[in-house]
Structure 1
Amino acid sequence: MSKLTVTAKGQVTFRKDLLQHLGVGPGEKLEVHKLPDGRLEVQAARPTGDISEVFGMLKSKTSVALSIEEINEVAAQGWAGKR
């Protein structure tokens, strides 16, 4: 069992081993459920979105069509360490 300390601001910090046990990292969210008798249940919040939402991230509003020659030129410059 682990003991956590509540700060003056009412915040609690979970130790790294507890976060690893939950499978969460920096920036991820936790779900907390209130149970009877003053108990809490904590679990990793899982994404609830649909897979189709990912495809919207792939769209570029400023996409530019390049010819195969232009693609080869850009690739050659990148390979040569020029940017």
Structure 2
Amino acid sequence: MRKAIMTSKGQLTVPKEVREQLGLEPGDGLVFELDEGAVRLRVEKRTPLRKLKGSLPAGRAYPGKEAERRAARAHVAREVAGEGPVGG
């Protein structure tokens, strides 16, 4: 059995052996489930942003950085000319 002591600020350090066995990494969460005076911990793994890449379908092909910049400049120019927001 491993033990952790709470600090005056309510913080706990999860023992290294426990972190390794649970595969805990920085950014992961621990969920505290209370059950009649006892507590059960459940690991909530963080999903790195890079793993989400491509998980949503693209509505259109990406035209490239320069094309996006030209479109943004044209949009701003129309607003400055007093044509108001595009599409609004």
TM-score (norm 1): 0.52
**Which runs of 5 or more residues in structure 2 are unaligned?**
67-88
Q: More helix per residue: 1 or 2? A: 1
How has the CA–CA distance of structure 1 residues 47 and 8 changed in structure 2, closer, same or farther, with 3 Å as cutoff?
A: closer
CA shift for structure 1 position 54: 3.8
Tell me if structure 2 keeps the 8 A contact 1:5–1:12.
Answer: yes
Q: Tell me which residue corresponds to 2:73.
A: none
Aligned match of 1:5: 5
Tell me the CA shift for residue 64 of structure 1. Answer: 4.4
The ranges of structure 1 where at least 4 consecutive aligned residues each deviate by more than 6 angstroms after the TM superposition are none
Give the aligned CA root-mean-square deviation in angstroms.
Answer: 3.2
Say which one has the larger Rg. 2
- The reply on whether 1:27 has 2:27 as its aligned counterpart is yes
Distance 1:35 1:62 in 2: 54
- Write the distance in 1 (CA, Å) between the matches of 2:7 and 2:27: 20
Taking structure 2 as the reference length, the TM-score comes to 0.50
Question: Distance in 2 between the 1:47 and 1:21 partners?
Answer: 17
Alignment CA distance shift 1:24-1:62 (3 Å): farther
Q: Using the TM superposition, give the Cα deviation of residue 44 of structure 1 relative to its aligned residue in structure 2, in angstroms.
A: 1.0
What is the percent sequence identity of the aligned residues? 26
